[in-house]
Amino acid sequence: MAATDDKTTHFGFEQVPLGDKVRRVAGVFDAVADRYDVMNDVMSFGVHRLWKRLAIDLCGVRPGNRVLDLAAGTGDLTQRFSRLVGEQGQVVAADINAAMLNVGRDRLLDKGICDNVNFTQANAECLPFGDNSFDCATMAFGLRNVTDKQAALDSLYRAIKPGGSLLVLEFSKPVLPGLDKLYDAYSFKVLPVMGRLIADDEDSYRYLAESIRMHPDQQTLKGMMEQSGFERCDYHNLAGGIVAIHRGFKL
């Protein structure tokens, strides 16, 4: 899944040397970090906030839990998990990109939400946490940017406690008839223009649109989670399949 051969992988629709993808993805998020939340609101018409709330509800996080928010970005999920786990719990906000992690840390500090939150720069493919460390792990809109997605899922499985769960919120494949054509028109004609006007960065948002198209579809991702060892895997389509929430359990 990660590469077309031993030396290359995809960066959007472009084939690049395997070692270059992490650097180039980092460049994308370095460029958009300061305006990431604004662009998310504009791109999704604010609906991404509802998608994230639905994902959090499916996690079933309780007071005292230890939660990993991987690809935490600007901290949307981290903030809500912090309230749910309470003083006896802990949230680890992890992201491979330092710029995004710093924006998230500053945002939560401004809101006085850090007493039960730790921030860690981490690569999803080789998480720096012990086995069976978390009651729940989430990855919202980050898996598609990982070079070796199967390795990331394997690493997440190792880090989750028996009885715990993984939830992946990610763009997926439209399932409603005709929606794919409308979605393509929006993604490749409108989105880059919005990126140029709002974030002064057309190329990064063109990459984001392309990376969505290269991400595994719903059934394929479910199979990858099962291959990593997760059981009772399911997914819930949102917005006609433009976004999907995948969930699996470590039993």
Tokens of 199: 């974030």
Residue 30: what pLDDT?
Answer: 67
> Cα 134–159–29 angle (5° rounding)?
95
- Give domain 27-176+205-249's CATH superfamily: Vaccinia Virus protein VP39 (3.40.50.150)
CB 95 within 8 A of CB 72: yes
Tokens of 244: 């999907």
pTM surpassing 0.85?
Answer: yes
The terminus-to-terminus CA distance of the chain in angstroms comes to: 25
Per the DSSP assignment, residues forming a β-bridge with 119 are 93
- Note the pLDDT tens digit of each residue in 96-154: 999 889 999 999 988 888 899 999 999 999 999 999 999 999 999 999 999 999 999 99
- Note the pLDDT tens digit of each residue in 56-111: 999 999 999 999 999 998 899 999 999 999 999 999 999 999 988 999 999 998 88
Contacts of 98 (CB under 8 A, 6+ apart): 121
Q: For the chain, which residues make up each domain, given as ranges?
A: 27-176+205-249
Residue 89: what pLDDT?
Answer: 97
